[in-house]
Amino acid sequence: MKKSYINRDFLSSYILITVAALLLLVVAITDRRDITSASVVISAMILFLCGIFLFTFSKQDSIDDHISSLIPVQNHINFCTIISELGIMGNSWILPPHKTGKECIMQFIPVSTYSGGTLQGDIFVSGEEGTGVLVQPTGQTLRSDLRKNARLVIPDSEEEVLQLIKETGEELLEIAETVNVQKTGEGFSIILDNYLLVDGCRRITTESPACCTLNPCAICSLFGMILTEGLNQAVMVERCRPDKKKNRVEILFTIS
């Protein structure tokens, strides 16, 4: 069955204009020519102007949030399945360049744990510091685009980094109504309230809650990259958990 996605602003403007026309029709039919009719005419004019205003300044809806959230889900699950079949089960680390010898921030998915030292290798890494897979973070493309088109600049102070994460989620990407970022012991907690892409998170965690820590999505990855670059430290994805009822996602990063 085909689902129709209707722009609510356009629909509201049509309703207002239609009601205005009906009111004028009533006045024309009754032909009372009294104070009541005059009030109805004024009300109709107000409704008509409001409808025109709403129609003029409304914008066409983008793709539905639910659909958007589901687009990367299967690819994400497939990647995590392949990684798991290779025996790689550890939580992902977002690493600064000095930890890998690469020119950009990288993501390390260890077999079990990562000691925090410098890694040697291109994709498949093995050694005393840890064994696993070294890849570019999922949020790398998004981060590059924001740097180019939104002039995203990563500060180097902790307070400014946390504020940037909040502003990125609320104002730049507009993916959540509120983004609460707090320092918690050895890490940082990020809570996205009224998160637009929460349905995708729920679908992934239904397959396996470990998917989000094994290979974080582009949004979680982006926040981790901001922390890594701003603090110049390795960041582990400790937990990423969508609420089953509320449109909320809680992310916990650990700093090493």
pLDDT of residue 16: 80
pLDDT of residue 194: 95
Band (4; pLDDT cuts 50, 70, 90): very low
96 with 29, same domain: the answer is no
Could you report the per-residue pLDDT of 58-99, keeping only the tens digit for each? 665 567 788 888 888 999 899 999 999 989 999 999 999 999
Q: Stretch 106-119: mean pLDDT, rounded?
A: 92
How far CA 49 is from CA of 11, 24, 59, in Å, comes to 15, 14, 18
Band (223; pLDDT cuts 50, 70, 90): very high
The conformational region for residue 87 under phi > 0 = left, psi -120 to 50 = alpha, else beta, is left
Residue 2 lies in a domain: no
150 with 233, same domain: the answer is yes
| Containing structural domain, residue 147 | 66-255
14 with 121, same domain: the answer is no
Residue 3 lies in a domain: no
Number of folded domains that form the chain: 2
26 with 90, same domain: the answer is no
Rounded to two decimals, the pTM is 0.77
Starting at the earlier edge strand, list the strands of the sheet with 235-242: 124-125, 132-135, 106-110, 93-95, 235-242, 248-255, 187-193, 178-184
| 18-22, 170-174, 222-226, 246-250: the lowest-pLDDT one | 18-22
Instruction: Work out the percent of the chain whose per-residue pLDDT is above 90.
Output: 61
**DSSP codes of every residue in 208-234:** -TTHHHHS--HHHHHHHHHHHHHHTS-
Q: Which residues sit opposite 108 in a β-bridge?
A: 93, 134
| 24-28, 209-213, 231-235: the lowest-pLDDT one | 24-28
